[in-house]
Chains A and B, each alone.
Chain A
Amino acid sequence: GQQVMQIPQYQHVQEGEDFTTYCNSSTTLSNIQWYKQRPGGHPVFLIQLVKSGEVKKQKRLTFQFGEAKKNSSLHITATQTTDVGTYFCAGHRDDKIIFGKGTRLHILP
């Protein structure tokens, strides 16, 4: 069946360092979304990527969708304590959605 693998599962970084999480799908996706869940909170939509090779930026966050529409990445430049949380990708195909297992980001002060 369709799978969306997300790595790493955990990431500890010093405040100010960069962070990247990756999603890889076994099948071509129609689009991919990214969500952030703060500790004790609920997932919050960050962005959606639709086009092959698409790159979008939100301040320190850069999102990419691969040329084959099978992989995606989220890169955070110069992390801050407010970036703490779990980042999920969610791949869409054939009216189905599959969430990656998330990358839990911990910031060391």
Chain B
Amino acid sequence: DTAVSQTPKYLVTQMGNDKSIKCEQNLGHDTMYWYKQDSKKFLKIMFSYNNKELIINETVPNRFSPKSPDKAHLNLHINSLELGDSAVYFCASSQFGITYEQYFGPGTRLTVT
């Protein structure tokens, strides 16, 4: 059983489109995250959700909006996609909070053309 899953694995779209990436974890964790990894492999946290509440909102454009329908899911919606949004997006989860070990999903490679 996959602990943290993401869909889709690959996403190719044009500038200006709106897209969503879905994430699900079956670990029973309280906290979920979204990370962006750019072409240089730098990993930066974007959002964190704990019990459906946003507890970290790093400085990301408001075109990005996390949505958590329940504790096991944290989706990422992106409006008006730009070329610079091209990256690999990882979902992750941890129990209790950010200071605990995180389990990452397989990643979604987003390419904006």
Which residues of A does B touch, CB under 8 Å? 30-31, 33, 35, 37, 41-45, 48, 86, 88, 92, 95-99, 101-102, 104
Interface SS of chain B: loop
B98 touches A48 (CB 8 A): no
CB neighbors of A among B47-102 (8 A) = 55-56, 90, 92, 97-102
CB-contact partner of A99 in B44, B100, B106, under 8 A: B44
| B contact residues around A31 at 8 Å (CB) | 99
| B contact residues around A104 at 8 Å (CB) | 41
B104 touches A102 (CB 8 A): no
A-B contact count (CB 8 A): 49
24 contacts between A and B (CB under 8 A): A33-B102, A35-B102, A41-B106, A42-B104, A42-B105, A42-B106, A43-B90, A43-B92, A43-B102, A43-B104, A44-B104, A45-B101, A48-B100, A88-B43, A92-B99, A95-B97, A95-B99, A97-B45, A97-B98, A97-B99, A98-B45, A99-B42, A99-B44, A104-B41
A86's nearest neighbour on chain B, judged by CB, is B41
CB of A96, distance to nearest CB on chain B (Å): 7
In whole angstroms, how far apart are the Cα atoms of A50 and B99 in the complex?
Answer: 10
Known: A31-B99, A88-B43. A42 touches B90 (CB 8 A): yes
